[in-house]
Structure 1
Amino acid sequence: MEKMKLKMLYADIKSDIEIIENELEQALNSSSHILNNASIYLLQGGGKRIRPVFVLLSAKFGDYNIERMKNIAVPLELIHMGSLVHDDVIDDSDMRRGRETVKSQYNNRVAMYTGNFIFGKALQYVTDIEDPRVHRILAETMVELVNGEVIQIEDKFRLDQHLKDYFRRIKRKTALLIESSCELGAVVSGADEKTIRHLKRYGYFVGMSFQIVDDILDFTATDKQLGKPAGSDLLQGNVTLPILLMKDDPMLAPYLEKVASHGLTEQERLEMLALVRKSTAIKEATKISNLYLQKALREVEALPNHPMKKKLRDIALYMGKRKS
C-alpha cells in the first residue's frame, strides 16, 4: 500500500521510470550465469526507486532529457543496490523486503562479488557523461558510502556512542546518496547553481528524515510489514536512534545484555519491542525526524517556481510520514 502511494506521487514521470527500470535490467546483464541470476534476483526484489525519482525530479529544474538523465539515474540506483548486497553480508541478514537475500540464496562470496559487479556496472554506465564534476561527486559519494559501512561495523553493539555518531553514520548510509541524486540530477540537466544548492540540501534533509523513520519503523512496524523480524537492526548490533534515546532505561538494560550476547529469546524480543514502543523514545525520535523534514520543506520553498516543487514537497511528506 505504501509503495502504491509513492508511485501515485510520481505518476507523471511513470514512463521515464519504466525506461530506468529497463536500463537497470540491461545494465545488470553478465556473461556469468551466477552473477546474472543474482543481480536480476536482486532487481526483481523491487524497491521504491527513490534515487532515480529524485534524479529525474531535480532534473526538471534544468534542461530535461531522459536519454541524458538515465546515464546518472541508473548508476545511482546501482550503487544503492550494490550497497544493499554488501549490507546483508555484513549484517548476516537472510531476509530483505520479505524475500531471501542474495547472501541467503547463494553465499557470502557470491554476494560480495555480486555487489562488486554492480558497483563496477555503475561506474561503467556513468562514463557516457563527460562532465568531470559529475564523476567527482559520484566518486566522493562512493568513498563516503564505504566509510559509512566500515564505521557501522565498528559501532556494532556500542551503547556508549553519541547522537552525533549516529547522525554521521546515517548521513553516510542513506542521506548522502539521496543528496547526490538531487544534486546530480540538477547538475546534469544544467540547472543554475542556486537551484543545485537548494536541491542538494533538500536531498540531505529528506535522506536524514527517511532513515530515522526507517529506524523507528524497525521497532514499531510488524514483522509482516517489515518483511523481517521487528527489532532486526538491534539484533544485528546496529544501535539506532530509539535505543540511543532510551539506553539508560534500567528496564531495557537486561534485554540489551541479552542482545549483545546473542541470547535473546523470541519471547524476550516481543517484550523488548513492547517496552520500546511505549517509551518516549519513539516520540522523541519522530520529533527529530520531523525537524529534518521541515528543513527539507524550507529548501523546496526556496526553489524557483516550478510544477515540480509540489511534487518534491509531497514526496518528502510521504517519506517522513510513512508507516511501513
Structure 2
Amino acid sequence: MKLTDIFWPFRSDMNYIERELDRAIDTKEPVLHKAASHLLKAGGKRIRPVFVLLGGKFGNYDIERLKYVAVPLELIHAASLVHDDVIDDAELRRGKITVKSKWDNRIAMYTGDYIFARALTLVTELPNPQIHKILSNTIVEVCLGEIEQIRDLNNWDQNLRRYLRRIKRKTALLMAISCQLGAIATDASKDVVHRLYAYGYNAGMAFQITDDILDFIGDEKKLGKPAGSDLKQGNITLPALYAYHKSQNAAAFRVLAEENRTDEMIRFIREGECINEAQKLADWYLMRAAAALEGLPDNRNKDALLKIAHFFGERQS
C-alpha cells in the first residue's frame, strides 16, 4: 500500500494544508522565497501534517484550528532538513539538489532560520499555552539531538541507549507531538492525547530505524542517495552498531572500522545478521504503536493510523 492511498480520504484538507504551507513562506525577498519554495517542493511524505489531522479527528475536528499546528510542524521539519544538509555537506536530498548546493551555506542557514521563525509565528494564532510549551520543548530536544549526532560522529563506543535517544530527538518526537497536538487543538480527552502521543513516538522510532536500515539495503534511485551514506559521513546507525558490538564476527568488523574501510563495512552489514536484528527492533516499536491505539474508537481514522504504521515497516524509500 502507498501513502497516497492511505491519505486519499484526507486529500481535500491536505491540499488546503499544502496551500497554507505556500502562504506561510511567502516573502518579498526573492532569494529567500525561492530557496524556501525549493525546499518545500522538493518532495516529502507530509506525514506530520497528516498525523495532526488524524489526531484532530478524535476531538472536535476543525481544519481552521488544525492548520496552525499542521503547517508549523511541517515547517519545523523542513527547517531541520535544510540545516542538516549544511552540516552533512549534502548535495542531494530525495534525489534533488539541496538548498545549500543550489545557493550556498549562508542562504541555506538563513532559509532554515526563516522557516523556523514562520513556524513559531503561526502557532501563536492558537491561544493555548500548553501547545506552545510542547512545541518549544520539542524544538529544544530536536536541537539537542542534532548536537548529539555531531558529537557521536565516528564514535563506535556509543551504546544502544544513546542511539535510541538520538533518534527519538531527531525523528520520533516531531511525529509524536504531531499526533498529540492535533488532539489537544481539538479538545480531545487526556486519554486520547496520551494514546496518540505514544502511537506517534513508537511509529516514529520504527520509521527512523527503517530509514537507517534502508541506508544500507535500499534502492539508491528511490533513496536519492548512495548506499551507506550515513556510515561514510561518520553517522553510526543501528545496523552498524549491531555489527560492531553484537555480530558473530564483531572482531573482524572492528578491524574494518579502525581502518575506516567503509565499502567493506557496508558489505559486511548487508551480508550479516545485522539488518535482521535492526528490523526486529523496528517491528517491536511498530507493535507498541499499534497497542497504543487499542483504546481508541474503531473507525477509519484509527485504521489509517494502523495502515501508516504498517507502511513504515514495509516502505522501500
> What displacement does 1:274 show?
2.6
Match of 2:257 in 1: 256
* Residue 322 in structure 1 maps to residue 315 in structure 2: yes
> What displacement does 1:208 show?
0.2
Match of 1:273 in 2: 266
Does the 8 Å contact 1:206/1:320 carry over to 2? no
Aligned mates of 2:257, 2:38 — CA distance in 1: 35
Say which is worse superposed, 98-107 or 245-254, in terms of deviation. Answer: 245-254
1:236-293: per-residue Cα shift (whole Å, max 9, x none)? 111000000011523333543454xxxx6xxx62x43332111101000000000000
Match of 1:309 in 2: 302
SS in 1 for 2:252: coil
Selected match of 1:202 from 191, 199, 202 = 199
Gaps of 5+ in 2: none
* Residue 283 in structure 1 maps to residue 276 in structure 2: yes
Match of 1:300 in 2: 293
Match of 2:103 in 1: 106
Which residue identity lines up with residue 21 of structure 1 in the other structure?
E
Please give the residue correspondences for 1:22-61 in structure 2 after superposition, counting only pairs within 5 Å: 22-61=19-58
Match of 1:141 in 2: 138
For normalisation by structure 2, the TM-score amounts to: 0.96
Selected match of 1:222 from 219, 223, 227 = 219
Which residue identity lines up with residue 101 of structure 1 in the other structure?
T
Q: Aligned pairs, how many?
A: 313
- Give % identity: 50
SS in 1 for 2:35: helix
Which residue identity lines up with residue 77 of structure 1 in the other structure?
E
SS in 2 for 1:122: helix
CA-atom RMSD in angstroms: 1.3
Aligned mates of 1:238, 1:274 — CA distance in 2: 17
SS in 2 for 1:128: coil
1:145-173: per-residue Cα shift (whole Å, max 9, x none)? 11111111111110000100000000000
Selected match of 2:157 from 155, 160, 175 = 160
Which residue identity lines up with residue 279 of structure 2 in the other structure?
T
Which residue identity lines up with residue 307 of structure 2 in the other structure?
D
Does the 8 Å contact 2:219/2:316 carry over to 1? no
> What displacement does 1:30 show?
1.6
Aligned mates of 2:138, 2:175 — CA distance in 1: 10
> What displacement does 1:301 show?
1.4
Aligned mates of 1:322, 1:296 — CA distance in 2: 16
Aligned mates of 1:307, 1:241 — CA distance in 2: 34
Does the 8 Å contact 1:301/1:309 carry over to 2? no
SS in 1 for 2:120: helix
> What displacement does 1:210 show?
0.3
Gaps of 5+ in 1: none
Which residue identity lines up with residue 282 of structure 1 in the other structure?
I
Say which is worse superposed, 165-174 or 225-234, in terms of deviation. Answer: 225-234
For normalisation by structure 1, the TM-score amounts to: 0.94
1:27-75: per-residue Cα shift (whole Å, max 9, x none)? 1112221111100001110100000000001110000011111111000
SS in 2 for 1:64: coil
Does the 8 Å contact 1:35/1:114 carry over to 2? yes
Aligned mates of 1:32, 1:257 — CA distance in 2: 48
